[in-house]
Structure 1
Amino acid sequence: MKSQIIHKTLSILIAAVWLVNGLFCKVLNLVPRHEQIVARILGDEYARPLTIVIGISEIIMAVWILTSYKSKLNAISQMVVIATMNTMEFFLVPDLLLWGKLNAAFAVIFIALIFYNEFVLNKNLKLETE
């Protein structure tokens, strides 16, 4: 029972990270630095629409997490997206990151949390119900 509560709480928190970054930081442009990152990597001309598309994708990721649909595929997708995005930013725009190159450490921690939540906690929950 305790593992189930921890798993659900972590899932909600992980989804909240995607929702906040997607909706508030990108779609509503409350953190313009995100659009600046997109502009520097992909070019100024389409930075705003691309930032919105990225934000909507992050909102969809949050919904996907909350549905628990194909949760292993979801977790793998999250980890790949985070690793790819942060690797690109580390090398291409470290000056625009909130914590500079230290952002990579937070990305690794977030990836580890997603891994733990899906492949340790959720696996244990499934074993308990069998």
Structure 2
Amino acid sequence: MPFGKQKNVVNIGIALVWMINGVFCKVLNYVPRHQLIVARILGETHAALLTRTIGILEAGMAIWILSRIKSRWCAIAQILLVAAMNVIEFIAAPDLLLFGRINIIIAAVFIFIIYRNEFKTHVSLS
């Protein structure tokens, strides 16, 4: 697969992660565990509203990724957000995470994919 097409496929995959987690898990509340995590970290009073807001922002991230506007800034924002969210969850709510503390490894892999996709260029061997 040519590099440009490969990068587009990876971009779509990354955007899907944000869209699924944002819209389906948080906005539509198909995975109530997300609201429990938000409640644990930010308090129960406005957990539902905050979870939906975070979900909408995650969907916005997906749109930004697909737009390719300021893609390097987008990648940096994703890396910082994923790292921050996962460190906070690792400390404050490991029992609510899908894979417990192992989630931090999955987050690190996702960060690596984002980084590699945006900042590493394809080098032709020919």
Superposed counterparts of 1:117-128, under 5 Å: 117-121=117-121, 124=122
* CA deviation after TM superposition for structure 1 residue 5, in Å: 1.0
Structure with the larger helix share: 1
Alpha-carbon distance between aligned partners in 2 of 1:86 and 1:6, rounded to the nearest angstrom: 27
2: CA distance, partners of 1:116 / 1:2: 16
1:60 aligns to what SS in structure 2? helix
Where does 1:1-130 land on structure 2 (aligned, <5 Å)? Answer: 2-121=2-121, 124=122
Could you tell me which amino acid in structure 1 is paired with residue 73 of structure 2?
L
Q: Percent identity?
A: 50
If the length of structure 1 is used for normalisation, what is the TM-score?
A: 0.92
Deviation at 1:24? 0.1
| Secondary structure in structure 1 of the residue aligned to 2:120 | helix
Runs (4+) off by over 3 Å: none
1:34 deviation in Å?
A: 0.1
Quick one: which amino acid aligns to residue 3 of structure 1? F
Tell me the amino acid that sits aligned with residue 2 of structure 2. K
> Alpha-carbon deviations, 1:48-96, whole Å to 9, x = none?
0000110000000000000000000000000000000000000100000
TM-score w.r.t. the length of structure 2 is: 0.95
